[in-house]
Amino acid sequence: MYATASAAPARETRAKRRRRSQSISAWALLVPSIALITLMVGYPGITMVWQSFTDYQVRNKIQGTPANFVWFENFAKILTSSDFPAVLGRTIGIMVLTTTLIMIGGVLVAVLMTKLGRGMRLLVSVGLLLAWAIPPLTATVVWGFIFDTEYGLVNWALNTLTGSNDWHNHPWLLNPWTFVMVLTIIVVWGAIPFVAFTSYAGLGQVPKEALEAAEIDGAGGWQRFWNVTFPAIRPVLGGVLILQIIWNMKLFTQVYALQSRGGIAADTNVLPVYLFRQGIGEFGETSAIGMLIVAIMLAISWYNIRLLLKEDDS
């Protein structure tokens, strides 16, 4: 007892010293990435926050004149504008729809890949990779042509299949609901490969012994997936889910390109496109919309972030 009491302070200082030298080297290693993040994200981020409270325009930049500080005028203008609630609701709705389909579809493809033989798995991987490699704009142009009103493949196929002329000049993008359907197909099609590959990598980490043990205990396929596989890949899926929420909240390319092919823009705008359509050089108002998007995204993903952090701690 005496011995421990006298030895304790010495051990403590040694441990403290080690901890300090460790933390110095840790910070040294972190400096480059922190500097890079500050430069690439911090500066534009802070600029955006500042601009959202001003009436900054291109004019100010070109002529070197300062912008006026307008407090919450930009936010008030956006939040009270007649079309904002609809745009917000549509954005969140499309995000939930696409994210759900992408997550389910991606995990299903990943599970499928674990069951396939080597040759088929290679084929599926190459197919997924090709879909993932196609830029969103290209994909939208191709899909847009497939659903084209006058010369589209879908209308032709439906006419041929039904042996009628009912689908002649059927405008898929005109009705906001079928617009969202086409949009969902494009987005989900393009995003499934990422989820599938990531989940497939996660599935490789599931302990085989646990699965075998569960099988011996008489667990069925679904029970094994839900009680053994799923908890093991949950951290991976949690991370992917946050990314998908962010990506699907900021859909721009696909929506904008589809709108230029058809449909009614006012009925199909999502927040990022709405931001873009505010007119040229309105930095103040558009920054305010950007701030709102960040706030909404953080609110939505906060639960997931906390969950992830909790899992990290345990």
| Interaction of residue 125 with other proteins, rule CB under 8 A | no
Q: Which is nearer to other proteins, 149 or 184 (CB)?
A: 149
| Structure-token match 């011995």, residue found | 3
Number of chain positions touching other proteins (CB under 8 A): 50
Residue from 18, 19, 44, 223 touching other proteins (CB under 8 A): that is 44
Residue from 39, 58, 123, 153 touching other proteins (CB under 8 A): that is 58
Q: How far is the CB of 264 from other proteins (least distance, A)?
A: 5
Distance of CA 175 to the CA centre of its chain: 26
| Interaction of residue 149 with other proteins, rule CB under 8 A | yes
Here's the x/- map for other proteins, 293-312, by CB under 8 A: it reads as xx--xx--x---x--xx--x
Beta bridge partners of residue 282, listed in sequence order? 57
Q: How far is the CB of 312 from other proteins (least distance, A)?
A: 7
Distances (CA, A) of 280 to 53, 179, 246, 297: 18, 26, 25, 25
- Asked whether 268 and 172 are in contact (CB, 8 A), the reply is no
Residue type, 298: L
Q: How far is the CB of 28 from other proteins (least distance, A)?
A: 15
Q: What is the DSSP string of 94-120?
A: HHHHHHHHHHHHHHHHHHHHHHS-HHH
Beta bridge partners of residue 57, listed in sequence order? 282
Q: Which is nearer to other proteins, 158 or 211 (CB)?
A: 158
Q: Which is nearer to other proteins, 48 or 236 (CB)?
A: 48
Residue type, 148: D
Q: 155-174: which residues touch other proteins (CB under 8 A)?
A: 165, 168-169, 171, 173-174
Q: Which is nearer to other proteins, 173 or 233 (CB)?
A: 173
Q: Give the separation between CA 303 and CA 306, rounded to whole angstroms.
A: 5
Angle between helices 283-313 and 230-249 (to 10 degrees): 170
Which residues have CB under 8 Å from 13's CB, separation 6+? Answer: none
Q: Which is nearer to other proteins, 70 or 246 (CB)?
A: 246
Binding site for other proteins (CB under 8 A): 37, 40-41, 44-45, 48, 57-59, 61-63, 149-150, 165, 168-169, 171, 173-174, 242-243, 246-247, 250, 259-260, 262-267, 276-281, 290, 293-294, 297-298, 301, 305, 308-309, 312-313
